[in-house]
Amino acid sequence: MIKRVVSGAVLVLFLAAVILFNRSFPLALNLVVALVSAASVFELTKALGLDRKWFLFLPSLAMAAAASFCGENLFAVYCLYTLVLFSAMLRYHRETTFKEVAVLYSMVVMIPSALNCLVLLRGLSQDHGMFYVLVAVLAAWVADVGAFFAGTFFGKHKLCPEISPKKTVEGAAGGLVLNVAVMLLWGLVLSRWFYHGQVQVNFLALFLAGFLGTFVSILGDLSFSLIKRGCHIKDFGQVIPGHGGILDRFDSVIFTAPFLYLLASYLPLTV
């Protein structure tokens, strides 16, 4: 548990540094998203045993790393990636299968595109975009922290025993309560103390981010747990002590980032 707490604190501090230096070095967020996307695709291809098939592995890794820098050209770049990947499948049809290509293709489309929503979130507000990004990440991580501690001390009823045996109903409830509380508290801190009342925070949007974001976070966590069961592995990697691999830590963010982007597009977090 100590390793998990320390690693979590380091990740939060790293995220805080990206936010603080956003004005002086705005590409920091793009670089972090590119790094996380590439690392996630690398871990996934290794888990699937596709890292040795360079004709699939290298284009996929390059696509994952480039996605956060493509902007409005992202769709066109994905079309190019599609041509490259299926050309490789035709050229090396004796060494690979359509099933392998289909699984890899779907993940390379989903993971970088979803994480790229963090970059898009920043663009929704010129002055408070990084606040939006922070909410998207916290919606996943706070729910996970609350679920971990509530499940550890009070967990009795299994939530999804066949997919994730350690998750409990009590843990999910604890994550929900903590997530909503942190979102509302962070909105209060931002409005009252950081901006001294000059910026109004949309507490309804923050409540929805915490409440609905918890369910989206659980969905992301369970979805990748199912993928891990399909790959017959425990963790995608061991990069982060106590948490596993990069994908183990960002699986929920992959789901909460697009959700928060849609929510903030129609219901801004600041007014």
d(CA 66, CA 254): 17
Residues in CB range of 128: below 8 A, 6 or more apart: 199, 269, 270
CA atoms within 13 A on the CB side of 172: 20
CB 57 within 8 A of CB 51: yes
What pLDDT does 166 receive? 84
d(CA 265, CA 259): 10
Read off the pLDDT of each residue in 226-250 and give the average, rounded to a whole number.
Answer: 69
3-state helix, strand, coil in the chain (%, to 5): 75, 5, 20
What pLDDT does 189 receive? 85
d(CA 220, CA 217): 5
Amino acid, res. 9: A
Q: Is 160 in a helix, a strand, or coil?
A: strand
Amino acid, res. 180: V
d(CA 241, CA 8): 9
Q: What angle (nearest 5°) sits at the alpha carbon of residue 33, between those of residues 211 and 42?
A: 105
Q: Does pLDDT of 9 surpass 60?
A: no
d(CA 207, CA 213): 9
d(CA 271, CA 263): 14
CB 52 within 8 A of CB 91: no
Residue 197's pLDDT band (boundaries 50, 70, 90)? Answer: low
Q: Does pLDDT of 247 surpass 70?
A: yes
- pTM for this model (two decimals): 0.88
The answer to which of 117-121, 177-181, 267-271 has the lowest mean pLDDT is: 267-271
d(CA 16, CA 29): 11
Q: Which of 168, 171, 181 is nearest to 138 (CA)?
A: 181
Read off the pLDDT of each residue in 188-195 and give the average, rounded to a whole number.
Answer: 79
Query: Do you know the residue count of the chain?
Result: 271
Q: Which of 108, 126, 168 is nearest to 26 (CA)?
A: 126
Q: Is the pLDDT higher at 59 or at 166?
A: 59
d(CA 137, CA 143): 10
